Amino acid sequence: MPTFVYMTRCDGCGQCVDICPSDIMHIDKTLRRAYNIEPSMCWECYSCVKACPHHAIDVRGYADFAPLGHSVRVHRDEEAGTIAWRIKFRNGKKDMELLAPITTKPWGTGIPKLADEPAPSKEMRDSELLFNEPKYVRMDGGDLHTLESNGLTLKAGVYY
């Protein structure tokens, strides 16, 4: 379901151009507004739809299998930490609103800056541990699993 852009809503800000993973949202040089330059490489991922500050971008099901007259709209709000969807069927019989959280913390606040963490010891470097391990593996005092700790060996051949 390729995306398309409503002429009267787009102000050419380029947010969609900036986010599209497929590089298919471009600004038309004459009209100075965005459009989908290559619908056959659109994954209907909605990244541009969610990013548009004016809700100028919508999606119309792929012409090869989707009949006209449906709608799936979205409003993503990073501050509220939610995403809201509205799905309308072609025959008008179903009209659903669905809400989901997108984060449990104010945006970006829960992520550590590893440059500020104490440097790993030599012992840690020589071990198989990663950052925050072993603690975060099991959230208790348990160590990382090894073949030895789990009573295992690797043997070549057909063994099941």
Partner 1 sequence: MNYKTIIEDDIDILVAGAGLGGTGAAFEARYWGKNKKIVIAEKANIDRSGAVAQGLYAINCYMGTRFGENNPEDHVRYARMDLMGMVREDLAFDMARHVDSAVHQFEEWGLPLMRDPKKGTYMREGRWQIMIHGESYKPIVAEAAKKSADKVFNRVCVTHLLMDDSKDNRVAGAVGFNVRTGNYHVFKSKTVICGAGGASNIFKPRSVGEGAGRVWYAPWSSGSAYGLMIEAGAKMTQMENRIVLARFKDGYGPVGAYFLHLKTYTQNGVGEEYESKWFPALAEMVGKEYLDTEGQHLSHKPIPTCLRNHAFISEVNAGRGPIHMVTMEAFQDPHLEEIGWHNFLGMTVGQAVLWAATDVDPKYENPELTTSEPYVMGSHATGCGAWCSGPEDVSPPEYYWGYNRMTTVEGLFGAGDAVGGTPHAFSSGSFTEGRLAAKAACKYIDDGKAEGIRVSDKQIEDLKTKIYKPLETYTVYKNEVVAGSVNPNFINPRQGLDRLQKLMDEYCGGFGVNYMTNEKLLSIGLKKLKSLEEDMEKIAASDIHELLRAWELNHRVRTSESVFQHTLFRKETRWPGYYYRGDAMKLDDKNWHVLTVSHRDRKTGEYTMEKAPLYHLVSEK
Active-site amino acid positions: 43
Residue of 40, 45, 50 whose CA lies nearest to 16: 50
Q: How far is the CB of 53 from partner 1 (least distance, A)?
A: 15
Q: How far is the CB of 79 from partner 1 (least distance, A)?
A: 13
Among 64, 79, 121, 141, binds partner 1 (CB under 8 A): 64
Q: Does 119 help bind partner 1 (rule: CB under 8 A)?
A: yes
SS3 label, residue 78? coil
Q: Does 63 help bind partner 1 (rule: CB under 8 A)?
A: yes
CB atoms within 10 A of CB 133: 14
SS3 label, residue 122? helix
Say which residues have a Cβ less than 8 Å from residue 15's Cβ, sequence separation at least 6: 48, 51, 52, 53
SS3 label, residue 88? strand
Among 29, 123, 140, 141, binds partner 1 (CB under 8 A): 140
Amino acid identity, position 120? P
Q: Does 10 help bind partner 1 (rule: CB under 8 A)?
A: no
Q: How far is the CB of 94 from partner 1 (least distance, A)?
A: 6
Q: Please give the residues from 79 up to 118 whose contact with partner 1 meets the rule CB under 8 A.
A: 83, 85, 87-91, 93-94, 96, 98, 100-105, 107-115, 117
